[in-house]
Structure 1
Amino acid sequence: MRPPPRLRAGDQIGIIAPSGPVPSEELFQAKSLIERRGYKVVLGDHVLAQHPTNNYLAGTDEERFSDLQNFLQRLDINAIFCARGGYGVQRLYPKLTPQLFDAPPKIVTGYSDITALHLAISHYTDWITFYSPNATSLVRLDGVKSEVALNCFWKMLEEPQPFGILPASPQTIETLVGGAVEGPLAGGCLSLLAHACGSRFQPDFRGKLVLIEDVNEPVYRVDRYLTQLLNAGILQEAAGFIVGTVTGWRKHEQEDSLNQLYSLWEDLLLPLGKPTIVGFPFGHEPNPLTLPLGVRAQLDADAKTLTILEPAVV
């Protein structure tokens, strides 16, 4: 894998909106936060665009792709931060070609719908990318743990040495299957991983430590996504699993419902027999940790720890 160059004071960070529409107030708060860190922010030409008919998209497919293409090819842009998730990257799949990624590797960050972009980049390149808060998520980090999440984010992008053990509290993590295993990190938002099946960007989890999380999905749909990945033979090839949660799943279930998320992990992941932890704080969490996709890590399911073994940037 090729780590991108680390961020240095004065570097230019481009912000794009390849998925859903971006609230302007949150965008400019994020811009100010990043600039206070010592960076210059360049906004994509269409970052505040709105699709003329589909209000769940930030501009047309052509506009959203144009900003991505521009910043990937500009040598003066050191990193690309996605403004938010939502939906829309998969609509860009026909436009994502190998030539788009001919430039040297650069930092690409984001989570949720940005999983689809991470999959495309990993298909065409050996770049390391970052499953991390989106740009507007940075300003919504809250409470005592927000400093931990922010420090993790910036340290991962700025410091060219292995991060080591990620700062996750073992008290909030469950061991589903014990054991220790090493492998590159992969995965992301579960629904996007399942929806990529059958495309050329279908996940490749051979020997990988697979990240799984999502938001606002009832248990039966989580079951559907996992079952799709199992039926495709994809999850069986993983070395281990780091499961977050499906934030907001309980609102879809009655208080006395037998449908329980942890029971589903037991039903579908435990039989695979791979080291697995549940409840790791990443993705759709109030204060998510940043995880470098493609970097080799060690999962110790008994100790409930995840250790980054290689630098994510150089």
Structure 2
Amino acid sequence: MRTIKPRALRKGDEIGIISPSEPVIYKKKFLRGVEILKKLGFRVVLGKNVFKKHGAYMAGTDKERAADLNAMFKNPQIKGIFCGTGGMPSNRLLELIDYYSIRKNPKVFMGLSDITVLINAINKVAGLVTFHGPNIESGFSRGFSGKNKYTLEYFSKAVMNSKPIGIVRKRHSLEILKKGRAQGALVGGNLEALTTLLGTKYEPDWKNKIFFWEEVEQTIEDIDFFLTHLRLCGVFNKISGIVIGKLVGCDTLGPTDDWKKEKSFTISKMILEICRDYKFPIIKGIPFGHSYPQITLPIGVKASIDTKKTNPFSIDESGVK
């Protein structure tokens, strides 16, 4: 399928905000994020069901959440769609999304965490370049002063500029787990969320892709479980490289006290064991995921890894036109 790029966002554009996963939990933070989006020069339209709750952990029924997403894509006044927060139930929407309308009405669609499911499924089925970037409640609400100027810089490069993002400047030292060079289009997001797509028609096409992933509040054992499942599904036989983001609260082996005291078996050591039979490069510590500041990554565009370089990760194709 031919890849479609949305138009770059401009000041004055209308941005639709939806809650396709969990309900808004911290309304003050959410509204602060909305105000900051307005200060960037955008107009904001809230989805009809953005504050709904259903079964405690869903922002409305499946039909309500999907209706907001589909309506935003069909509305010609809306130029971008951002998500309120993450959660877990996004995959319940996959069969209700109007992928044909998305392909006919391409626009910037962005989120992270559980929204990983949606940005990858839409890219796979509709061919639209989507974006792994800040949610409203946990991301935009932080503002863009101080160290978060970095977040604004890469958000702007990703969705407001038709030039490639280019070299991703590291903010802290990176770990080069495996040396080498790689090229390929980007796929990825939250690791646990991605595993829910395996074996479905919404699973990414992994061939020759650079796989980026991040996690939050998982044990080393949990991440081992997810990565081993990907390996058994043949994903690592297809990809060209791995870029790991920030692993927030993921430094313990497991729940027991004895495991928590164990320090010699690190998450990096575990990753190398899982990937021991593969030659692709692996870098760890690129600023994206459940940490701030963070970069925005376009899914479906060309990127490269070169571990000999000071800044080894580069996004070489624009995500917008």
Which deviates more from structure 2 when the two are superposed, residues 54-63 or residues 139-148?
139-148
Quote how far apart the aligned CAs of 1:143 are. 7.6
Match of 2:141 among 129, 139, 152: 139
CA deviation map 1:135-171 (0-9, x unaligned): 22122368842111122112211111112111223x4
- Separation in structure 2 between the aligned mates of residue 259 and residue 65 of structure 1, nearest angstrom: 43
Aligned partner of residue 115 in structure 1, secondary structure = helix
Aligned residue number for residue 164 of structure 1: 166
Root-mean-square deviation (CA), in Å?
1.7
CA contact (8 A) 2:214 2:244 kept: yes
Match of 1:264 among 263, 270, 286: 270
Aligned partner of residue 41 in structure 1, secondary structure = strand
1:254 corresponds to 2:260 = yes
- Separation in structure 1 between the aligned mates of residue 160 and residue 80 of structure 2, nearest angstrom: 11
Q: Which letter maps to 2:43? A: K
Structure 1 alignment gaps of length 5 or more: none
Aligned partner of residue 186 in structure 1, secondary structure = strand
Quote how far apart the aligned CAs of 1:268 are. 1.1
Q: Which letter maps to 2:126? A: T
Quote how far apart the aligned CAs of 1:97 are. 4.7
CA deviation map 1:108-153 (0-9, x unaligned): 0111101100121122122111111112212236884211112211
Quote how far apart the aligned CAs of 1:99 are. 2.8
1:107 corresponds to 2:114 = no
Aligned residue number for residue 305 of structure 1: 312
Q: How does 1:38-187 map to 2 (within 5 A)?
A: 38-51=41-54, 54-136=55-137, 137-140=139-142, 144-169=146-171, 171-187=172-188
- Separation in structure 1 between the aligned mates of residue 158 and residue 150 of structure 2, nearest angstrom: 12
Which deviates more from structure 2 when the two are superposed, residues 205-214 or residues 99-108?
99-108
Distance 1:101 1:80, change over 3 A: same
CA contact (8 A) 2:34 2:140 kept: no
Which deviates more from structure 2 when the two are superposed, residues 94-103 or residues 80-89?
94-103
Aligned residue number for residue 280 of structure 2: 274
Identical counterparts, % of pairs = 32
Q: What is the aligned length? A: 311
- Separation in structure 2 between the aligned mates of residue 210 and residue 48 of structure 1, nearest angstrom: 33
Aligned residue number for residue 227 of structure 2: 226
TM-score, scaled to structure 1? 0.94
Structure 2 alignment gaps of length 5 or more: none
Q: How does 1:227-246 map to 2 (within 5 A)?
A: 227-246=228-247
CA deviation map 1:79-114 (0-9, x unaligned): 000111111111112213533424221100111101
Aligned partner of residue 63 in structure 2, secondary structure = helix
Q: Which letter maps to 1:150? A: L
Quote how far apart the aligned CAs of 1:270 are. 4.0
Distance 1:268 1:140, change over 3 A: same
CA deviation map 1:262-289 (0-9, x unaligned): 1111111243110110111111122111
- Separation in structure 2 between the aligned mates of residue 113 and residue 55 of structure 1, nearest angstrom: 16
